[in-house]
Chain A
C-alpha cells in the first residue's frame, strides 16, 4: 500500500521526494498504468506517491522575452488550447493536441512525459525542437540539463530519486508560422507514435530545427539535416534531400531492422512533407 501526499509547497514536495521509495505523480497517466501492472503482478508498490499537480511553481508559462519557460506541470490539454502557446510555440501545441485522448491530455503533463522517457513521447519531440533545458530540483539544489542529455535509453533518464523537473527553459525558433509537427500512428487519434517529426523553419533558414521521434532511444535533433537546410535553397529538392538525409541518419544509428522497410521511406517522406508545410506556413504569412 502506498501513502499519498499532496505537498502544499515545493520544499515540502522535495523533502517528500527525498524519502526512499517516493515516486512523483505528475499527472498519473503513465504512473497509474505502472501501478496497476505492479498490483496485478504482486510487485512492490512505491512507499509514497507525491502528487505535484497542485504546485503553482510548476504551472509557469512565459513565452515572451528572453526567459521563455514552460512549467513541468502544464498539461497537454492546456498547451493544446492556450492561445499564447498556440501562437508562440505552435510546434508544441500541435504535438500536445496529438497526445492520447482528451482525457489523457487533461491530466498528462510535459514534466511527466519527459520523466517517463518514452521514445515515442510526442511532447518530448516538440520540447527538443524548442531547445528545452530542463530545470531539475532536489533538496540539494537545482541543476539544468538539456533534454537530449536527460534521456539515456528508452524509459531511462538521468533523473535520480529525489529529483523533480520543475520546467523547461526554451528557446523558441524565430518564426512561429514555420513550425510543423507531424505524427504517424496506427490510427488517427489516440495512437502511439510510429514516428513523429517536428520541423521549424524561418525565412532566412538561419535556425532550422528538425527533430525525429519514436525512431531513436529518445527524440533527437538531426543536426546534419539542419546544416544541410541552412546552406540550401528552399524548395522541394531541398526538402527531399533533407528527408533522405534524415532517413540515412536513422539507418546509420539503428541499422537495417525489419521496421526500417517502413520507417526509412516514411522518415524521408514525412521530413520532406513537414519542411514543405513549414515553408508554406512562412510563405502564407509573408
Chain B
C-alpha cells in the first residue's frame, strides 16, 4: 500500500515505506526535501520541525505513516516563487539567521505560534521556540525575527 499525503500542497504517493521510517527520513531521502535537518534524532533540537496539518512536530519523532492523508508543510513550501513568506522575510530582515541550520525548523515553529497568537509576547515566543535549539544567535534576533514575521503576516510595516 502506498503512503499518500499532501506535501506543500501537492499529493505524494510513496511505495515501500517501512513502518519504522520517520517522516524526516522520508522527506529527506525519498522526497528530496532537505530543508528539514536532523540535529539530534531524539526530538530535542527541533531542526527537523515540519507542520503536520498546520501544527509543528518533530519529524524525527513522527512515523512517516502518521502523515498518511494529512498535510505536511516543509520550509520549501513557504515562499511563492521569488516572494519570500512573511515569516522567512522576518527572519532574514532581523539577522535571525547565522549558520542557518536551525532556521527552517525555527520558521515553521514560529508559524504554528503566530497562527494561535498573531501578536505574540516575548515570553510566548521564547516558550514556543524553546524546542528549537540554536547555538549561534543566542535567540535574541530569533525573537525579533518571529516578531517581525508576525508583523509582516498581519500586513503591517515593511519597514527597512
Contacts and interface: CB of A to CB of B under 8 A. Distances in A.
Complex A–B touching at CB under 8 A: yes
Interface of A: 1-4, 6, 25, 28-29, 32-33, 35-36, 39, 45-46, 48-49, 51, 53, 77, 81, 100-104, 106-107, 188-190
Given A29-B61, A102-B56, A107-B62, A189 B127 contact: yes
A49 B61 contact: no
A107 B109 CA distance: 14
A35 B61 CA distance: 10
B143 to A, nearest CB: 14
Q: Which of A1, A6, A49, A107 has the most CB of B within 10 A?
A: A107
Interface stretch (B27-35, B37-45, B85-93, B95-103): B37-45
B60 interface: yes
Interface in B33-76: 41-44, 46, 49, 52, 55-58, 60-63, 65-66, 68
B63 A49 contact: yes
SS class of chain A's interface: helix, strand, loop or mixed? mixed
Q: Which of B41, B49, B60, B130 has the most CB of A within 10 A?
A: B130
Nearest to B63: A28
B20 interface: yes
B26 interface: no
Q: Which of B19, B46, B60, B65 has the most CB of A within 10 A?
A: B19
Contacts of B113: 102
B112 A102 contact: yes
11 contacts: A1-B18, A2-B20, A4-B19, A36-B22, A48-B19, A51-B66, A101-B130, A102-B56, A102-B109, A102-B112, A103-B131
A282 to B, nearest CB: 26
A102 B42 CA distance: 14
B44 A190 contact: yes
Contacts of B43: 29, 32-33, 100-101, 103-104
